[in-house]
Structure formats: structure tokens, C-alpha cells
Structure 1
């Protein structure tokens, strides 16, 4: 029965689009009636493949959301007259091609853009160019980027400001004494267990607080955490830090985080569709570390924004030098950490926003290259068939 409804919706979408009577943004979402799982099943890695895919493209049905509005015009992403062909690479005497990457990593969508032109674009597992797909931790990079925008706009005076200057509710907590820089680098020193599949971990406690949908519950959890080290001395990956990052953006700008994202980036980069973003409670604060859902090309446009050094049509949205600082390794407690401001430095000057289950926005400024990739790997971590970093480096190396 669901197949019939989806097919009917698909037919309607295609018919309306071909007639030109409505824009793509106004079309009904053809996946809206699909059966989906629960958010606990998502994090447990206990969804059968078909239901998992349905869920990943319908995450706006799991929690209340706020719209990230696009602008009035759409930026054209031209298709190259020399598409990517015959790409392959070798690891340990084994040769892999693009078909292997798509199949073995259960990729559900990939677009490769070089010099502003699409070299490759493919949708799988029932997706198409209008499908919205979950970001997971890719959105951490967006939240961190908005902190940069707030600094550029003067809403945040300095990256070295104590966060309690903007979030006074955390005075007297383990976050008292933590700076904006510490938050961006996940070096607050506040104790945190990120294990996705452990129902007793802090990450799952945060998820349960989100499921409860009580205003302020997630931030109350963060305020209750103990200190494990002095700020700036230990790196510890923490989705919890991104909840404070989102709260910081809202408090400093006086605007909902989704609205600020729309104002600074989404409406100006020519995104072709509205996105939506999970809220911690109805009409509440955005979830800073996951839950944004957007089309593949719009994720790629965010990558192009990063590639362009945070400048849109001559207007500087991010401070000069922000992208370089955000995308390079940091020294924390005397050790080099492969993490910037919620971006992952990779080979050369390249870097990526990454999310569990295989979500990527990859940028290589030396090759003028952006890759946006969706996947539906069966578990949150350690289920990629092929190492994504090796694939992305091989792709960079392919372009001389």
C-alpha cells in the first residue's frame, strides 16, 4: 500500500515539475507517507535497510522542527561537459572504482563538484534531487560556522570570551571558565561519554532528554555534568558541546539558530529548497549537533560556501582566516588533535564535515573540489565497507 502511495506521489511531483506550474520547493514531498522507525532504533543501529532509508529521509517526523528558509533565487550548479569517468584507486593491492564505493558503503546520494561544475551526481536507494536527508554531525560544522558569523557580525566579541558571558545559566557549573574557543574545539574539560549504542552514555541521556521534549531539559543535563579536566587541556568529542554552541548562537544573536542560518547562508547561497532542523522541544532551541535535513545539492552548496572562504558574492560572512583556523588541527594539552572548529582536517588542506552512518561534506581547496555524500550504513560507526578518507584522498589525487 505504501508503495502505491509513494508511486502516486512521485507521478504527481514529476507531472507538476514538467508543467512548470510550481517550483520544486512547492512540490509535495514524495517520501512523506513512508513507514519509518524510531530515533532509538536509529542510534541502536536496529533498523532493517528499507525502514532505515525511509527514516533517514523523514527525520522531520521524529521531532518538532524549525524551517531554514531558502532565498528567492536558486544558484545554478552547471553540469560539466567532461563528467567524471574511469575513476579508480588501489589500497593494499586491491583496486576499487566508484561503483564499489557506492555499493560497499551503501551510499544513497553523491555529488562531486569541481571548479563549480558537477562532475558526478547519483541518487540511490529511492532518493532523488528533491529528497531531504539527515545530516547527523554534519550539522555540528554548521553550528560552529554560525559562531564565526556571529563573531563577524559583532554579536560575539571574541573567540576567547567565556561562554557564561552569553549563557549565564552555566555560571557555577563545569562550564564556568570555558571559552568559546574551548567549546569549538571540544576541549572544555567537562566529562562526556559519546558512545551512541550505550543506553547509559551521556549521548543517550541527551537523546532521552530530547525525546522528552521538555523545554531546557538538554541544557539542564549539560549544566549537571562534572568536570574531568581543566579547560583547554584535553580533547573529548562531545555532541553535548554542540548543544551549548547552538544555545550560544541563539543567546548572542537573539534569533533562532535556524533563522540565523537562513539569514547568513541558506538564503544567500541560492539553496534550492528549505531545510528543516530538529528542536529540543516544541518551538524551542535547535539541536546543535544533529537533525538538519536538506537536499544533496544544498549540502554541496554549503561546501561551496566553505570553499569560498565564507564569502558570498563579495560579502564576507565569516571572519577573515576563519575557515583556515576551523579546518586545521589544533594543539590541546600539548598534543596535536585532528580536529578544528567542529571540522575534521584530512589530507593536505582538505577537510570535512562528517556525520555517523556515512554523511559527508568534503572540501579540498587545493583542487577546488567539493563532495557531498549521503549513506545508510547499518550502524552508527565502523560499518563502512571502504575507508571514506582513502576514497576522498584518491579522488583529490585523481585531479592533477
Structure 2
């Protein structure tokens, strides 16, 4: 049987023993926890082997079970006024039924939902014990943040172009399959370097190898793993979702800037976008690099402010036109409808792109999103000047119906807020 190739298949496998050990035994970290432990919060020992009773508490306390590094905010907080039109009574059609907001939140175990229109709050809800002060982990939403830091490094001249060689900045990858790759190809998940995102523990599982690298608790162990991967396809010809690839991008930014990803994120975005709280980023080891593909933790409103920063970026911190380029597919391998059979979205620079024009989904023309397992979404709709954040604790890593229901809710919100 061939290895899973669809996003749905591979992420449905996640949560078994293979990833269960990824975070086990990784307590401590580069920074002290941002808040004193709450004795009432019982946590799992890792993020991927939780129970319904401890899942939410674990997701909002990652710094208590894994090494992390702080992302510091600035002095001024960006106000988020209340929008004139409230979505508190939102209802939407899904699967032949009309769904109310409370039903959606309960069924999908939503811990936070925020919708910002023109920078103002049209909807803000919390659940599962979360409050506005809760720091919730983002899983693979972080990939899109890492890609944004690639753009910042390009804007500042730390990178000459997206077409420079990856190994130019990372000596550990010289003489490896990655020596033939450009930064742009990694952003598109189209390096052609072999990676099996199969979360079963088997001889062919690269996730299993990633588990072992992290368990080594040694800076550089993950890059050593990536250096060992062979070539499977010509560069730029095949889309292959790879958490390891996102780690390489993060390592590249750190090497190019001479700074940790956490410090660089703070300097270029977090301290300048009016964030209300420090965030933190999970590390490969106590003295290691940030996990460029997963697990930044922040408040619901600060995720929203990140979306506003991206929509309103004027070219001072990112290259002019970066968002337009980063949010759209480029060529057949990443085109909308080409990634997986029956799946309409495409892929940009570590962003999932909704189809546009005649193929657009209702309400989502030109939209794009960062998405993470267990129901994490950062959704941006530039045409409507709308940002949405969904933080969830789904019972499984990926639930097809929950993803589609979330898109239906957001599409209806776009339409309702457009009727001003």
C-alpha cells in the first residue's frame, strides 16, 4: 500500500503513538512560563495524546510541558472597537440544515472565535475554559508565520531573493538533496525532497524520524534529519506537505538574520502590531531552534491583530506586494484543485489559497488561510477587509465536516457584514 498522499488521510493518522512521544519528556524551556501554573488545570504530558478532559487545558499551557521561547510585545496595544453590526445571532446553512452559532461552537469544541471587519469586532466568543487572556497553541498555523518572516528577511536584505539556494545559508544541507533547492520551492512545499508525512511508527515514516530527532533534545538534530532525506522528484514539480520543510525555512531565517525566530518575530511584527500579550514558540530542544512548522501560542485577539497587520502591511516590513504573492498558488503543482483529489484549495507560501473567479467558494473569493490540526484557523479575506480566527479542540486531528462547516460559517459572516 502506498503512503498517504492526501491531506485528509495523513492528518487523520496523527494522534497515534508516533507523535505521542514527540513532546513527552520535553518539560522546561528557554523561558519561564508566562503565568503561574493553575493547580486546577490538569495537563496531558504532550499535545497529541490528550483526553477530552485535559485537551483544552493542555493547548493553553504548552509552555508547561515543552521548551519554549518568548515573543515579546511592544508598549502600545492596538484597540479593537466593536463593529456596528453584530454577528451574535449568526445562522448559516450547512449540509442541508440551518445551523446556529451556539450549535457550531459546541459541536466543534471551539475555544475561541473572533471575526474582525474593518478592524472592528463583529463577533467574539470563548469556550472550553478560555478567556481573552488565554494563550492557545496554533499547530500548523505557525507555518504561515514562518513564511511571513521569510518575507521580512527578504525585505531587510538578509536574503538576496527567494531564488537563492537553501544550502547557501545552511551549511548542514550542503551536499544534500536540498543543495538543488531554492527558498521559493520550500515556501511552496515543492522541493522534491523525499518526505513521508505518515504518522505511523514504521521504517518509512519521516515523522517517526522527526520524533527521534526531537527526543534527542539536541540543537541541530532536526536539521541533521533533513540533511539525510533523498531526492524523490525534480525541484518545483510536485507538491508534498512536509512539516520538516517548514522547520528548514525557520532555520534558514534564523541563519540569515543571526537571530532566533522568536526575537525576529518580536522585532518585525509582535512589538509593532499592537499585541496585548507576549506570545511563545515551542523549541526543538531547550537550547534549540523554534519549530518553524508548528506551535506558536498567543491570545485570540493577538492572532486577529496578526491578521490585521498582514492585511494592512504597507511594504515597510514586508516586500511590496508580498501578501498578494504569498497567498496565491504559482504553477500547476500548487494550483487550486490540484493538491489532492476533490479538494478545492491551492497553496501559496505556506498559506492555503481559496479559488477565485468562477471557481470561487461562496464568500471566499480571493481569501486565504493558515490552518492547523484540531481546528485552528487564521482566515484573511482582503477583498472584504475581514479577518477571522478559530481556535478549537476537535476530537480528531482533522474532521472534514468541521472544516467545511467552518468555511460555511465564515462565508455567511462575509455576506452578512457586506450588507451594511
**TM-score of the superposed pair, with normalisation by structure 1:** 0.87
Determine whether 1:91 maps to 2:99.
no
Contact kept? 1:190, 1:229, Cα under 8 Å = yes
Determine whether 1:395 maps to 2:413.
yes
Find the partner of 2:375 among 326, 343, 358: 358
Q: Distance in 1 between matches of 2:185 and 2:276?
A: 35
Determine whether 1:130 maps to 2:133.
yes
CA-to-partner distance for each residue in 1:181-236, whole Å, 9 max, x for gaps?
Answer: 0010000001112234x233212321332233112111111111111101100000
Distance change >3 Å, CA 254–CA 114, structure 1 → 2 = same
RMSD over aligned Cα, in angstroms?
1.9
Contact kept? 2:172, 2:224, Cα under 8 Å = no
Structure 1 SS opposite 2:179? coil
CA-to-partner distance for each residue in 1:276-302, whole Å, 9 max, x for gaps?
Answer: 111111222111011211111111111
Structure 1 SS opposite 2:328? coil
Equivalent in the alignment of 1:199 = 201
Distance change >3 Å, CA 160–CA 382, structure 1 → 2 = same
53-62 or 237-246, larger mean C-alpha shift: 53-62
Q: Distance in 2 between matches of 1:319 and 1:386?
A: 31
Determine whether 1:142 maps to 2:174.
no
Q: How many residues align?
A: 366
Equivalent in the alignment of 1:260 = 264
Q: Distance in 1 between matches of 2:331 and 2:159?
A: 23
Determine whether 1:328 maps to 2:323.
no
Distance change >3 Å, CA 203–CA 31, structure 1 → 2 = farther
Equivalent in the alignment of 1:22 = none
Which residues in structure 2 correspond to 1:85-124 (within 5 Å)?
85-124=88-127
Q: Distance in 2 between matches of 1:123 and 1:30?
A: 21
Equivalent in the alignment of 1:186 = 189
Find the partner of 1:368 among 376, 385, 389: 385
Structure 2 SS opposite 1:175? helix
CA shift for structure 1 position 29: 4.8
Q: Distance in 2 between matches of 1:116 and 1:367?
A: 11
Determine whether 1:349 maps to 2:366.
yes
Find the partner of 2:172 among 161, 169, 173: 169
Q: Distance in 1 between matches of 2:232 and 2:135?
A: 38
Structure 2 SS opposite 1:259? helix
Determine whether 1:276 maps to 2:284.
no
Structure 1 SS opposite 2:93? strand
Contact kept? 1:66, 1:279, Cα under 8 Å = yes
Distance change >3 Å, CA 162–CA 332, structure 1 → 2 = farther
Q: Distance in 2 between matches of 1:256 and 1:128?
A: 29
Distance change >3 Å, CA 379–CA 302, structure 1 → 2 = same
Unpaired segments of 5 or more residues in structure 1? Answer: 1-25
Contact kept? 1:32, 1:58, Cα under 8 Å = no
Distance change >3 Å, CA 383–CA 29, structure 1 → 2 = farther
Equivalent in the alignment of 1:286 = 290
Q: Distance in 2 between matches of 1:167 and 1:334?
A: 26
347-356 or 389-398, larger mean C-alpha shift: 389-398
CA-to-partner distance for each residue in 1:297-322, whole Å, 9 max, x for gaps?
Answer: 111111111111x33xxx61111111
CA shift for structure 1 position 167: 0.9
Find the partner of 1:69 among 69, 72, 84: 72
Contact kept? 1:107, 1:376, Cα under 8 Å = yes
Equivalent in the alignment of 1:36 = 43
93-102 or 390-399, larger mean C-alpha shift: 390-399
Equivalent in the alignment of 1:316 = 316
Distance change >3 Å, CA 102–CA 333, structure 1 → 2 = closer
Q: Distance in 2 between matches of 1:237 and 1:352?
A: 16
Q: Distance in 2 between matches of 1:285 and 1:117?
A: 35
Contact kept? 2:139, 2:372, Cα under 8 Å = yes
